[in-house]
């Protein structure tokens, strides 16, 4: 298929991925790679191939069939290596090479394929199984999603690409749950970014192999799961895991982002993740109806996942309080946002009002089912600034049910 093969007038190269290894098989051609090095990054020959150390990443390149050469010199003026040139030449018109994404110890994960044919077979079987869990049959978008999973300290997350400063965008990982028709698969995807939360329950907006960035997105987990799948069909193990993770994350919002009177607030206007929509002076904590509504959706979800009637009843009460408080955000039939430190008020941006209404419907009962328009609302609001991302575009495409 076009996404796993490059063809030219004089040859072709096929690709197959087996977890952290990329297998290449070329016919009637060779491969030339010019790597761009920054200060401190290196390229060197090792037994059977070469190693590129790029930022936090190390790549071991081995040749199964063919010949590999590395050209790299030391720049005396710049006190750094020149950009290395790696050439893989064919043997009897064919070459096979493997690029391992590894660490500085060059440890290769056990159980990976030994050759291109095995990797190709595993990939085809895995991709076919993966596609059965999706809402859409858009094959190219499905492959973009399938090939974007990476391991971050043991957590399986989606990454935009694999460059020097690779990271997982927590919001994109959350939105990807909407691409799955399988409730378990969608919920399992959410456990990745939620599992990266700190001991205090802070959910990082960006996750790297070596650290986490501060929280930068709204608590939209309940809304996404209520919109994307039949939560009551979740397996018991996933229900328990989600209940524990979302419960911890919600407790953090209750502790750090709620007044004594019970109203939720953002520490600053953009904490909700709605870009290009300033509502109050930057730096002021803000009461916003979308946060109350999102928390109501979280409480609704927790009431469904709760292991006992008593706990479910407690979350239903919290949900109802959030919904009742929303009346204080109405002025002449329209939503407003309020400063938490002054008397300032401002009309809510349209995006805030759309998310508020959608979250209210999601939190209000069993009969809720997200429409295509609802899906568009979520992606237009929380995808702002991510439109150029090919991964985001693939997730949005797959979230449109077309099977």
> Scanning the structure block, which residue is given the tokens 């090919």?
390
Q: Strand locations in 178-309, DSSP E?
A: 206-207, 286-287
pLDDT of residue 212: 65
Gap between the Cα atoms of 275 and 384, Å rounded: 6
Q: How far apart are CA 319 and CA 327, in angstroms?
A: 14
Over residues 125-139, the mean pLDDT reads: 91
CA distance 320 to 299: 9
Of the chain, the end-to-end C-alpha distance in Å amounts to: 21
pLDDT beyond 90 at 391:
yes
Phi, psi of 151 (to 5 degrees): -100, 125
Helices (H), 176-258: 183-194, 221-228, 236-256
Cα(152)–Cα(166) distance, rounded to whole angstroms? 10
Q: Which two tokens stand for residue 180?
A: 């799955």
Greatest C-alpha distance within the chain: 79
Over the stretch 25-64, which tens digit does the pLDDT of each residue have?
999 999 999 988 888 888 999 988 999 988 777 899 999 9
pLDDT above 60 for 278: no
DSSP helix/strand/coil, 50: strand
Residues 239-259 have a mean pLDDT of 95
Give me the pLDDT at residue 259, please.
93
What confidence tier does 340 reach under pLDDT thresholds 50, 70, 90? confident
pLDDT (average), residues 266-274 = 76
Give me the pLDDT at residue 215, please: 62
DSSP 91: B
Question: Cα-flanking dihedrals φ and ψ of residue 25, to 5°?
Answer: -135, 115
Do the beta carbons of residue 288 and residue 337 sit within 8 Å?
yes
- Separation of alpha carbons 220 and 272, rounded Å: 9
* For residue 173, pLDDT beyond 70: yes
Q: Is the pLDDT of residue 97 over 80?
A: yes
Distance CA 290, CA 351 (A): 9
Mean pLDDT of the chain: 87
Query: What is the pLDDT, as a whole number, of residue 263?
Result: 93
Q: Is the pLDDT of residue 362 over 80?
A: yes
pLDDT of residue 383: 84
H/E stretch holding 222 reads helix 221-228
Would you state the structure tokens that stand for residue 27, as one six-digit string? 């016919």
Collapsing DSSP to helix, strand or coil, 270 comes out as helix
Residue 38 pLDDT? 83
* pLDDT tens for each residue of 197-245: 988 888 888 887 666 666 668 899 999 999 887 788 889 999 999 999 9
E-strand stretches of 111-209: 149-152, 155-158, 168-169, 206-207
What backbone phi and psi angles, to 5 degrees, belong to 250?
Answer: -65, -40
Determine the average pLDDT of the residues in 290-311: 95
């Amino acid at each position: 298929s076009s996404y796993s093969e490059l063809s030219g007038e004089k040859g072709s190269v096929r690709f197959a991925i087996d977890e952290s290894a990329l297998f290449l098989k070329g016919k009637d051609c060779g491969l030339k790679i010019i790597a761009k090095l920054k200060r401190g990054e290196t390229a060197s020959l090792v037994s059977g191939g070469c190693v590129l150390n790029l930022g936090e990443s190390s790549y071991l390149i081995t040749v199964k069939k063919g010949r590999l050469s590395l050209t790299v010199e030391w720049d005396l003026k710049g006190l750094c290596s020149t950009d290395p040139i790696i050439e893989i030449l064919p043997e009897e018109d064919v070459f096979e090479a493997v690029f391992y994404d590894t660490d500085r110890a060059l440890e290769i994960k056990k159980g990976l394929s030994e050759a291109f044919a095995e990797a190709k077979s595993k990939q085809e079987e895995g991709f076919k199984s993966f596609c059965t869990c999706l809402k859409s049959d858009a094959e190219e978008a499905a492959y973009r999603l399938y090939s974007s999973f990476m391991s971050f300290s043991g957590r399986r997350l989606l990454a935009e690409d694999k460059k020097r400063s690779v990271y997982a965008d927590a919001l994109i990982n959350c939105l990807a749950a909407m691409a799955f028709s399988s409730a378990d698969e969608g919920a399992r995807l959410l456990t990745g970014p939620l599992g990266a939360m700190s001991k205090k329950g802070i959910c990082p907006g960006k996750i790297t192999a070596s650290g986490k960035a501060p929280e930068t997105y709204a608590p939209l987990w309940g809304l996404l799961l209520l919109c994307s799948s039949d939560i009551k069909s979740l397996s018991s193990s996933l229900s328990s895991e989600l209940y524990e993770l979302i419960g911890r994350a919600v407790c953090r919002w209750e502790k750090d982002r709620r007044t004594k009177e019970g109203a939720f607030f953002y520490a600053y206007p953009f904490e909700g993740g709605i870009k290009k929509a300033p509502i109050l002076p930057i730096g002021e904590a803000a009461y916003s109806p979308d946060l109350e509504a999102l928390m109501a959706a979280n409480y609704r979800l927790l009431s469904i996942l709760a292991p006992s009637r008593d706990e479910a009843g407690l979350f239903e009460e919290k949900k109802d309080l959030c919904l009742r408080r929303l009346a204080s955000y109405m002025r002449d039939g329209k939503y407003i946002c309020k400063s938490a430190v002054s008397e300032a008020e401002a009309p809510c941006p349209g995006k805030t009002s759309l998310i508020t209404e959608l979250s209210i419907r999601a939190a209000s009962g069993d009969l809720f089912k997200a429409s295509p328009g609802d899906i568009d609302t979520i992606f237009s609001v929380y995808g702002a600034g991510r439109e150029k991302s090919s991964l985001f575009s693939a997730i949005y495409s797959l979230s449109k049910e077309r099977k």
